[in-house]
Amino acid sequence: MKRFALVLLMFIMQPLFAANNPLNDLDLKDLDGKVHKLSDYRGKWIVVNYWATWCPPCRHEIPDLVDFHNKHKDSDAVVLGVNHEYATVKELKNFKKKYKMSYPVLQATPRTPSIDREIRGLPTTYLVNPEGQIVAVQSGPISAGMLEGYINDKADSGK
């Protein structure tokens, strides 16, 4: 069953990066005003999760993203939650506290360019490798197990 899930994950999360499609470096502020860029995290896997407070699947995946972030933040990976709606800092701080989000929550709007292309649905999650290339995208909910499986598979294959 685990093997089937990994194979399914590989079909769902498809490589998107190409030499002629440069990665947009984030330049977004967190809820305390600190600017975050993808390049700040070079050398780590970066999970860039676009979400909104009104989105039930987004709220459902938060505990898994928190678990993944807490497990990896000091070693090999980080989660960046990009809020993709018109919400105030106060609303987002309350939401972050309610859902115990330990990873940085960055503010964006539907008009803010994403790291690769237009966001067409929420949640949408990008996986950026330690070299700074997008290696996978997931439209729809994601789990810590999916992230772990994909990263471990890439590490095992030497990519």
Amino acid at 36: H
Domain encompassing residue 144: 2-156
Instruction: Give the CATH number of the domain where residue 85 resides.
Output: 3.40.30.10
pLDDT at 10 over 50: no
Q: Count up the domains in the chain and report the number.
A: 1
Contact 54, 85 (CB under 8 A): yes
At 111 the pLDDT is 86
- Give the CA radius of gyration of the chain: 15
Its pTM stands at 0.85
- Other beta carbons within 10 Å of 82: 25
Mean pLDDT of the chain: 86
**DSSP run (H or E) holding 12:** helix 2-12
Instruction: Give me 14's structure tokens.
Output: 């498809």
pLDDT at 8 over 50: no
